[in-house]
Chains A and B, each alone.
Chain A
Amino acid sequence: MRGPDLRRLYDEHAQPLYAFLLNLTRDEADTRDLLQDVFVKLARDPDLLTGVRDEHAFLFRLAHNAAIDLIRRRGTRDKTRDRFVAEIISPFAPTSDPDEQTFRAALAGALAELPPEQRAVVHLKLWERLTFEQIAGALDIPLNTAASRYRYGLDKLRERLRPIYEEL
């Protein structure tokens, strides 16, 4: 798998992988490195996708593993930096509507407070519209775990965003 295939993979998957990685890392430079790592891995090993049924879910798996490795390496070192960055780097597109902007900023903050494993499931379910079965496959977790992480994550988001949501 060379040149054109890599281009196709990039054009089809880079955008969702970018948003997913940005939501997990909250750092654009880290997201750039991880996205590059995923495509370099694909380029180095042309057989990596051989026999893969769900290419989309498989690429999320690669990206998720790379992101979790990075988060573990960071450890406690960057906890304060994470909080600071979370206020600036949002996984959502900017908007000129002040109400929407407030909601997106609050949502980005609430997502940042979720544990990475819940955040990953919530992201894949809400913004990638993956089924729990696909999510379980992508993150290498049991189906029930995927469903419960989504439920807990969504409950936390609802509690956190209730005042703003009801106001809007």
Chain B
Amino acid sequence: MKPEDFEQKLQRQPLRQVPAEWREEILREGRRAAVPEIRDADTASLPKWSWLSTLNPQLSTLLWPHPAAWAGLAAIWILILAVDFSVRDKSLVMVEKSAPPSPEVIVELKQQQRMLAELIGPRDEHDADRSKSFVPQPRSERVEILAA
């Protein structure tokens, strides 16, 4: 089979003819589109669509090319939400369990607080001592202090 022969054989195949009745229909649509008054009158006679009904075909045009991908994405989101809800429930239970301390515990805590305060001593004195600024003294005075 020569390549040129094959190409010529293909080129000789006659193509299907456009249906004759289409001519007037398509030209009529063309005229309608060209004249704005006819176009506007046509659209005015149509029932008004809600924004939802106009959104629907736009959404399907957007989503239709890869329905499996969108479905997969939706499934992943559902999984994430499910995991999130289950984790959130557990943490709430933990908070509920630890939230109300018993009166005995409160009394015990107060006692411990009091003991701690006694051990440390009054806070004001301690702070006052600490706030005294250090003034260096001459060496001779320091020796006297040590001998005393």
- A interface, CB within 8 angstroms of B: 2-3, 6-7, 10, 14-15, 18-19, 22, 32, 35-36, 39-40, 42-44, 46, 72-73, 75-77, 90-94, 103-104, 107, 126-127, 129, 154, 157-158, 161-162, 165-166
Determine whether the beta carbon of B66 is less than 8 Å from that of A39: no
Determine whether the beta carbon of A39 is less than 8 Å from that of B15: no
**Supplied contacts A19-B15, A44-B34, A158-B6, 18 more A-B pairs, CB within 8 Å:** A7-B27, A10-B26, A14-B26, A15-B18, A18-B17, A19-B16, A19-B18, A35-B26, A36-B25, A36-B29, A39-B27, A43-B29, A43-B31, A73-B64, A93-B15, A127-B15, A154-B7, A165-B6
B33 in complex: contacting residue of A40, A77, A104, A157, CB < 8 Å = A40
Determine whether the beta carbon of B18 is less than 8 Å from that of A14: yes
Q: Mark B29-63, 1 if CB is under 8 A from A, else 0.
A: 11101100000000000000000000000000100
User: From residue B17, how far is it (CB to closest CB) to chain A in Å?
Assistant: 7
B130 at the interface (CB under 8 A from A): no
Bound state CA distance, A104 and B22, in angstroms?
Answer: 25
User: From residue B51, how far is it (CB to closest CB) to chain A in Å?
Assistant: 22
User: From residue B12, how far is it (CB to closest CB) to chain A in Å?
Assistant: 10
6 example contacts (A-B, Cβ-Cβ < 8 A) are as follows A2-B34, A14-B23, A22-B16, A36-B30, A93-B14, A158-B3
Bound state CA distance, A35 and B27, in angstroms?
Answer: 11
B10 at the interface (CB under 8 A from A): yes
B106 at the interface (CB under 8 A from A): no
B30 in complex: contacting residue of A6, A22, A127, CB < 8 Å = A6
B83 at the interface (CB under 8 A from A): no
Count A/B pairs, Cβ under 8 Å.
98
* Complex contacts, B17 vs chain A, CB 8 Å: 15, 18, 93
* Complex contacts, B9 vs chain A, CB 8 Å: 165
Determine whether the beta carbon of A165 is less than 8 Å from that of B1: yes
* Complex contacts, B1 vs chain A, CB 8 Å: 158, 162, 165-166
* Complex contacts, B30 vs chain A, CB 8 Å: 6, 10, 36, 39-40, 42-43
Determine whether the beta carbon of B27 is less than 8 Å from that of A6: yes
> Given the interface contacts A73-B61, A92-B16, A127-B15, does A39 sit within 8 Å of B29 by beta carbon?
yes
Top-4 shortest CB links A-B: A43-B30, A18-B18, A19-B15, A43-B34
Determine whether the beta carbon of B16 is less than 8 Å from that of A93: yes
User: Which of B7, B17, B30, B65 has the largest number of chain A CB atoms within 10 A?
Assistant: B30
B131 at the interface (CB under 8 A from A): no
User: From residue B32, how far is it (CB to closest CB) to chain A in Å?
Assistant: 8
> Given the interface contacts A40-B29, A73-B61, A154-B7, does A6 sit within 8 Å of B34 by beta carbon?
yes
User: From residue A32, how far is it (CB to closest CB) to chain B in Å?
Assistant: 6
B140 at the interface (CB under 8 A from A): no
User: From residue A4, how far is it (CB to closest CB) to chain B in Å?
Assistant: 10
A107 in complex: contacting residue of B7, B10, B18, B66, CB < 8 Å = B10
